Amino acid sequence: MREKLALTVVVAVFLCACSEKARQVDAYDPARDYFSFANTEQFVTTRLALDLLVDFEARELRGSATLFMQRLDPDAMDIVLDTRDLDIAGAHVLLADDVATAADYRFGDSDNIRGTPLIVHLPEAAAGATEFRLQLQYKTSPESTALQWLPPELTAGGKHPLMFSQSQAIHARSWVPLQDTPAVRITYEAEIRTPPDLLAVMSANNDPLTPRDGEYQFEMPQPIPSYLLAVAVGNIFFAPLGEQAGVYAEPELLDASVFEFADTQEMLDQAEILFGPYEWGRYDLLVLPPSFPYGGMENPRLSFITPSLLAGDRSLVSVIAHELAHSWSGNLVTNATWRDGWLNEGMTSYLESRLMEVIYDKARVDEERVLSYQELLLDLETVPLNMQALAPRLDVGDPDDFQGTIHYSKGQLFLQFLENAFGRDAFDRFLFTYFDTFAFQTITTERFLDYLDENLLQEDSSTVSRADAEEWLCQPGLPDDAPVPTSQTLDDAKALAAAWAEGKIDITEIPIANWSPQATVHFINSLPAELDSDQLTTLDEGLGFSDTRNAEIGRTWFIQVAKRRYTPAYEKLERHLNRFGRGRLIAPVYTALAQNGTDLELARSMFATTRGAYHPLTEASIARVLDAEGIGSK
């Protein structure tokens, strides 16, 4: 068994889907979405109309979804849709004459990751139709993996409930029955009914002046993949950030949000100069409660944002640059399947860094480049070889787990490598044309590679071959000539960490007040392994790490606190775990506790008291870590 496993890994690494050979050797098809049941070669959806009631008491959305469909295969009579935990009450087919005919439907076999296929059989009346509408009456389950229903006490104001969706990667199917694959793009309209004092917002045309009457209409005229469908409802208010940009948040967070994200309009203006026209109308932010599981989510026209960015000094706004940049890489040109995630995330991380350079300065961005490079190097030590390629073969597993540092940081580094090789001007022209060429399309890594080859690699002066690019895309680790980001300020911080640990300088000589949070993060990560408890106390008291307002500094410090078993800071570590719900900020702290050889039970008891406040996806991923540790240590 073990040998067989090892062999599979070797084959997977060396026969990556990029090579023609691989496609012949086995049946892996890089253009196929293995994470959807939908029969998109026979039917495609072009538009969606939602009509939903938001019921906070029952924790469910109820109503109908109407799919505007085209039949590509004239003989096909069964439409397979993706669902998860949906209760379907009826299906009707509407033809051009608007007459509704009931359709038979049944569920297929469920799958832990992909959910349950819904198979709708077209009635005879629709036999010859190439276009029709399919209307499904349904309601969601309180356990919908896409929706979090927050009681008032988990919001900033504490008086009103709040709900929000998170559809990426394959959770849209748990609040709408549809073809849940990025290969299909749809426009949509929605009618959302809420309790009258609450506001609904969507990844669509939000009108800041809409009357707050509990009935909200939306239109999304640009075709989007299903993972960008998004809705949120709560005691949410709007404040402008510029002509085209604004922010929605609970009133308690609105002023802080306006201050923190004041540069958003400028980011948008600069992004258009660099990447091409912004195709989506307005760009607003929605600041959610702490349980929002990510730093940000690029829902079109309305990025969803974690409140942990509210550091008070605008130091964490690279996340905003990132989500905004997705308006090009991801939302405009979309990865064909989750296996091509680097096309979304790696490209966006690169654009983010370019945007941050224009808005702020290169030194600051170099710091961020070094930090993400360090995270990548750490990851490369633990990620299995067959998952280290940018575009590995992936036909099983949970797409939520694919989006690691490889997609983000190795992807960013690949594009940085190309920029260095061809020069910034030529590479910028390439990117500009790339977005224009593939606007509102989904593409595979193979398509990207062909385009790159035709438009850049084959230039006479090119020093990069197709094989070089394939090495990045298909092989583990980093090529020998991969760029190595550097930062003088981070080097200085690292040197001071060593000097202080060796007793050469006093804690008061560390110029932390002049440092960026990134430099502080690097300082903490550079501390030598052998520090005693007294030294850690001197550090914490002298530099105030445990009381930091900056979530990234807190994350970095409390990982060290847990690894080093610095128990005097455990109370504040627990406060950190209660304060934040973003997976990145808390999961590695739990992991460090669980793996320090002593504190697995403590990690479990801290988790037990606070897990109810986490998003179900975050909760499940931490539970997996803590359970796996238990098994491993028995």
State the Cα–Cα distance between residues 513 and 500, nearest whole angstrom. Answer: 16
* Residue 550 contact, options ligand BES, Zn ion, none, Cβ 5-8 Å cut-off depending on partner type: none
**Residue 346 found at the interface with ligand BES (CB under 6 A):** no
CA distance 474 to 195: 51
Only one residue has tokens 């739990």, namely 590
How far is the C-alpha of 313 from the C-alpha of 294, rounded, in Å? 20
- Judged by CB under 6 A, the stretch of 6-14, 263-271, 289-297, 555-563 that binds ligand BES is 289-297
Q: Supply the minimum distance, in Å, between the C-beta of residue 177 and ligand BES.
A: 20
Q: Is 400 in the site for ligand BES (CB under 6 A)?
A: yes
> Which listed option, Zn ion, ligand BES, none, makes contact with residue 301 (CB within 5 to 8 Å by class)?
none
Residue 297 interacts with which of ligand BES, Zn ion, none, CB < 5 to 8 Å by class: ligand BES
404 binding ligand BES? (CB under 6 A): no
Q: Is 348 exposed, middle or buried (0-12, 13-18, 19+ CB in 10 A)?
A: buried
Contact 137, 89 (CB under 8 A): yes
In whole angstroms, what is the distance from residue 47 CA to residue 224 CA?
A: 10
- Name which of 345 and 367 has its Cβ closer to Zn ion: 345
Is 295 one of the binding residues for ligand BES (CB under 6 A)?
A: yes
Q: Contact, 89 vs 66, CB < 8 A?
A: no
Residues 370, 351: Cα–Cα separation, whole Å: 16
Q: Are 301 and 281 in contact, with CB atoms under 8 Å apart? A: yes
What does 400 bind: ligand BES, Zn ion, none (CB cut-off 5 to 8 Å by kind)?
A: ligand BES
Residue 607 · residue 587 · CB < 8 Å = no
**Tell me, what DSSP letter sits at residue 397?**
S
Q: Are 107 and 173 in contact (CB under 8 A)?
A: no
In this complex, which beta carbon is closest to Zn ion, that of residue 140 or of residue 416?
416
- Please, which contacts does 451-457 make with residues 24 or more away whose CB atoms are closer than 8 Å? 452/418, 455/430, 456/418, 456/422, 456/426, 456/427, 456/430
39/145 with CB nearer ligand BES: 145
Quote the CA–CA distance of 168 and 138 in Å, as a whole number: 21
User: Is the backbone peptide bond immediately before 169 cis, with ω within 30 degrees of 0?
Assistant: yes
Give the residue with the Cβ less far from ligand BES, 298 or 340: 298
Q: Is 403 in the site for ligand BES (CB under 6 A)?
A: yes
Structure tokens of 132?
């029709």
C-alpha atoms less than 13 angstroms from C-alpha of 394 in its C-beta half-sphere: 26
For the CB of residue 551, give the shortest distance to ligand BES in the complex, in Å: 11
What residue has token string 């495609």?
Answer: 44
Alpha-carbon distance 246 to 257, whole Å? 10
Name which of ligand BES, Zn ion, none residue 36 binds, using a CB cut-off of 5 to 8 Å depending on partner kind.
none
List beta partners, residue 217: 191
Number of H helices, E strands in the chain: 20, 21
Closest separation in Å from C-beta 407 to ligand BES = 9
- Annotated active-site positions, please? 323, 408
Using CB distances below 5 to 8 A depending on partner kind, what does residue 295 bind out of ligand BES, Zn ion, none? ligand BES
| 323 is a contact residue toward ligand BES (CB under 6 A) | yes
Taking CB within 5 to 8 Å according to partner kind, which of Zn ion, ligand BES, none is near residue 569?
A: none
Q: Which of 139, 326, 339, 494 binds ligand BES (CB under 6 A)?
A: 326
Quick one: which of 345, 357, 552, 599 contacts ligand BES (CB under 6 A)? 345
Build a one-symbol-per-residue string for 461-500: x at contacts with ligand BES by CB under 6 A, - elsewhere.
----------------------------------------
Give the integer Cα–Cα distance in Å for 143 and 615: 11
Residue with tokens 């070089």: 468
Interface residue with ligand BES, options 117, 296, 346, 517 (CB under 6 A): 296
Number of residues that bind ligand BES (CB under 6 A): 16
Quick one: which segment of 254-262, 296-304, 541-549, 555-563 binds ligand BES (CB under 6 A)? 296-304
Nearer to ligand BES, 65 or 325 (CB): 325
The two tokens of residue 542 are: 């002298």
Under the binding rule (CB under 6 A), the answer on residue 322 touching ligand BES is yes
Residue 319 in contact with ligand BES, rule: CB under 6 A: yes
Nearest CB to Zn ion, comparing residues 321 and 539: 321
Angle made by CA atoms 305, 307, 309, in degrees to the nearest 5 = 85
Alpha helix segments (H runs only) across 181-317: 251-260, 264-275
Residue 260 touching ligand BES (CB under 6 A): no
Binders of Zn ion in range 328-387 (CB under 5 A): 345, 348
Q: Which does 68 bind (CB under 5 to 8 A by kind): ligand BES, Zn ion, none?
A: none
Amino acid in the structure at residue 378:
L
> Per-residue contact track with ligand BES, 115 to 154, x per CB under 6 A?
----------------------------------------
Cα radius of gyration (the chain) = 25
Contacts of residue 236, defined as CB under 8 A and 6 or more positions apart, other chains included, come to 162, 198, 199, 201, 248, 249, 250, 286
Alpha-carbon gap, residue 72 to 328, rounded angstroms: 29
- At residue 220, what are phi and psi to the nearest 5 degrees? -120, 100
Q: Which is nearer to ligand BES, 284 or 599 (CB)?
A: 284
Which partner from the list Zn ion, ligand BES, none does 403 bind, CB cut-off 5 to 8 Å by kind? ligand BES
Q: Spell 527-544 as b/e; 16+ CB within 10 A means b.
A: beeebeeebbeebbeebe
C-beta closer to ligand BES: residue 79 or 286: 286
Positions 569 through 588 that interact with ligand BES (CB under 6 A): 584
Which of 139, 322 has the CB closer to ligand BES? 322
Q: What is the nearest approach in angstroms of ligand BES to the Cβ of residue 148?
A: 14
Closer of 299 and 516 to Zn ion (Cβ): 299
Restricting to residues 156-175, name those near ligand BES by CB under 6 A.
168-169
By CB under 6 A, is residue 298 in contact with ligand BES?
A: yes
State yes or no: residue 294 binds ligand BES (CB under 6 A). Answer: yes
Q: Which residues bind ligand BES (CB under 6 A)?
A: 168-169, 294-298, 319, 322-323, 326, 345, 400, 403, 408, 584
Q: Which residues bind Zn ion (CB under 5 A)?
A: 345, 348
